Structure 1
Amino acid sequence: MDHSLSKRLVAEAFGTGLLAVSAVGSAAMAGAMTDVPALVLLCVAISCSAALYLILELLGPISGGHLNPAVSLAMLLQGRILRNEAAAYVSMQTVGGVLGVFFVHVTFGLPLLSVGVHVRTGFPVWIAEAASTFGLILTILLGLRFRPNSVSAFVGVYVLSVTLFASSSFANPATTIARAFTDSLAGIRPVDVLPFVVSQSLGSLLAVGFARWLTTASVVTSERR
């Protein structure tokens, strides 16, 4: 069933908002219950992976379940979405992410608007963001190629894993921007956002190229003498 662009955009905004709620809300909840970093990280990983699986299963059939400008960029390069649609998707994903952060603040009794204070910068962190995004996009593209009915599960498992082993795994420009509007544990300083987005975009571009190379059949020619 083909859905109108307006419905797809609403689905993208709503889904990205829920993703932001799962990340920021789980960090706020875990931080209120324990001061053990490993437990906080585990709570965030489980929350985000479970939320992603559900969102992709329920909203994916409507909008494609991008929920992430890095994914929309990859889909644009793959010819799965038009340029104007990709731009609209990215805009609505960002708006949805910010609204999701505001919702978390309301439900936890926090100031509606705050600014991220957690320092997240430096070459190792940028490399981790590029690598995390690379893995996410590669998982999606290869999943769509070989196991399209399992992509939601693949993405959920990947996010659970990468959140636990990577030094930085936002892997989503929209939620990165959104997390600049919270001073909770999930936040990021606004000044650190642009390098994150650049790293994530680079990871997406590299994944598209690598997936294309992996899945393109080799052409063997022979000369007859």
Structure 2
Amino acid sequence: MRSYVSEFVGTALLLAIVAGSGFMGESLGAGNAAVALLGNSIATGAGLYALIVLLGPVSGAHFNPVVTLMFWKLGHLNLKKMLGYWACQFTGAIVGIWLTHLMFSLPIIQESTKVRTGLGIWASEFISTLVLLAVIHIGDKEAKDKVPMLVALTVTAGYWFTSSTFFANPSVALARSLTNTFVGIAPSDVLGFVIAEVLAALVMIGISPSSKQKS
């Protein structure tokens, strides 16, 4: 149960950090998108590092369905736990968005109008997810104690070198469709992101050696 709570709370806090810092950055930056993105990326990287360090020993600090899928394939958890993690990640992500709206006195229920679609964006999400999963997979094998830093820095950099701003997470994509703030994505564009992310996960799984599933 502690691991499920960890995934729920961690994903909720991650989304609150992403959405809250995006809203704050846009507000304080007086509409300057570069300033908003800078604040958004730094806060996300810093928050993600803290969450992984604190919650990693409890649940693995996945906070991401495709990360959980990869670790299931590698035998780190069984099917039941994978499905439980998915439920916690998706619900936690939505709660995190709602908490942000509450903190900033915004309407709790929203729908984004920000268009994020097209071949370049989809390719960006595919590459983003592949990079993230590769960093986690290689780091888990070769530099386990440095994984929190590696993931945090990869995500921070990803905000700037990808056209999609490095969602790389289906639960994040879905939850961000429920906020019409700086980090939002139009609901109609979510499917393209999720397909690209899942395809990248399948590629990573296909090239990763499998191990016996834990029961």
TM-score of the two chains, using structure 1 as the length reference: 0.90
Alpha-carbon separation, structure 1, partners of 2:52 and 2:71: 15
Counterpart residue number, 1:181: 178
SS of the residue aligned with 1:25? helix
Counterpart residue number, 2:136: 140
User: Which amino acid is 1:12 matched to?
Assistant: E
Alpha-carbon separation, structure 2, partners of 1:77 and 1:122: 30
1:197 aligns with 2:183: no
CA drift of 1:208 comes to 3.1
Report 1:1-225 matches (<5 A). 6-34=1-29, 35-168=31-164, 169-212=166-209
Count of aligned pairs: 208
**Runs of 4+ in structure 1 displaced over 2 angstroms?**
207-213
SS of the residue aligned with 1:28? helix
CA drift of 1:157 comes to 0.8
CA drift of 1:84 comes to 1.3
User: Which amino acid is 1:166 matched to?
Assistant: T
Alpha-carbon separation, structure 1, partners of 2:208 and 2:40: 29
Question: Could you say which structure has the larger radius of gyration?
Answer: 1
Over the matched positions of the two proteins, sequence identity in percent amounts to 34
CA drift of 1:212 comes to 4.0
Alpha-carbon separation, structure 2, partners of 1:77 and 1:64: 15
Alpha-carbon separation, structure 2, partners of 1:180 and 1:105: 13
Higher mean alpha-carbon deviation, 41-50 vs 202-211, is at: 202-211
Deviations 1:79-128 (A, max 9, x none): 11111111110111010010000000011010010001100111110110
Deviations 1:161-206 (A, max 9, x none): 1111110111111111111111111111111111111111111222
Question: Considering only aligned residues, what root-mean-square deviation do their CA atoms show, in Å?
Answer: 1.2
SS of the residue aligned with 1:65? coil
Alpha-carbon separation, structure 1, partners of 2:154 and 2:35: 19
Alpha-carbon separation, structure 2, partners of 1:118 and 1:70: 24
Structure 1: 5+ residue runs without aligned partners?
Answer: 1-5, 214-225
Contact 1:69 1:172 in 2 (8 A): yes
Alpha-carbon separation, structure 2, partners of 1:209 and 1:147: 22
Contact 1:21 1:100 in 2 (8 A): yes
Alpha-carbon separation, structure 2, partners of 1:160 and 1:209: 27
CA drift of 1:210 comes to 3.6
CA drift of 1:211 comes to 4.5
CA drift of 1:207 comes to 2.4
